[in-house]
Amino acid sequence: MTNTVPSEARITADPDVPLIRTTREFDAPKEKVFRAHADPDLAARWLGPNGTRTRIDRWECRTGGYFRYVSVNDGEEYGSGQEFAFFGSFHQVRPGELIVQTFTYEGVPDGVFLERLHLEDIGGGRSRLTSTSLCDSFADRDAMLSGMDVGVHEGYAKLDELLARG
């Protein structure tokens, strides 16, 4: 069940539509990966890059639910104590398999992303996550991409550790 080479997220930008697609494999069943996305206590432990901690203000991962969380920078790289807040609505949640949500960074409240996170069983106790984020414009997509690479890779590495601990 253990993969000897850590999986890297593949992040791609669609050339024709302002869309970002992220694909990542995990050494855990899709139900566990889903739970780590749906449970606020677990999500707070892995969301965001190293040097940040996540404070969950509200997290109702259910169809019609709402979320808001704040990433607080503890490191000097981004300015210690600096906060970045995000919010959105869960439009559809199918446990173990699918989350469709909106996602907004409070610093740019007009930039709303429609996100779809799908999980599939790939055998051997492993799963594949495919996430798409549809943006309002290519400019918004490119702005999101500029800060996403580090946060996604480091966040998913923390998620790997969390999943390995059970």
Looking at the predicted structure, is the pLDDT value of residue 5 above 60? no
- Considering the domain boundaries, does residue 149 fall inside one? yes
- Considering the domain boundaries, does residue 1 fall inside one? no
Give the tens place of pLDDT for each residue, 118-136.
999 999 999 999 999 999 9
For the chain, the average pLDDT equals: 91
- Average pLDDT estimate for 81-106: 95
Domain that holds residue 89: 10-164
- Considering the domain boundaries, does residue 5 fall inside one? no
**pLDDT score recorded for residue 166:** 80
Give the tens place of pLDDT for each residue, 39-90.
999 999 999 889 899 999 999 999 999 999 999 988 665 556 789 999 999 9
- Considering the domain boundaries, does residue 3 fall inside one? no
Q: If you compute the radius of gyration of the chain from its CA atoms, what whole number of angstroms results? A: 15
* CATH label of the domain that carries residue 103: 3.30.530.20
Can you read off the two tokens belonging to residue 6?
């850590």
- Considering the domain boundaries, does residue 72 fall inside one? yes
**pLDDT score recorded for residue 83:** 92
* Contact present, 6 and 25 (Cβ < 8 Å): no
Number of structural domains (the chain) is 1
- Whose CA is closest to 88, among 107, 106, 72, 68? 68
Distances in Å between the alpha carbon of 131 and those of 33, 47, 141, 146, 147?
Answer: 13, 15, 14, 17, 16
- Average pLDDT estimate for 23-43: 97
Residue type, 123: G
Eight-class DSSP state of 98: E
Contacts (Cβ under 8 Å, ≥6 apart) of 100: 90, 91, 92, 93, 114, 115, 116, 117
- Considering the domain boundaries, does residue 53 fall inside one? yes
Q: What percent of the chain has pLDDT over 70?
A: 93
Which phi and psi (to 5°) does residue 51 adopt?
85, 5
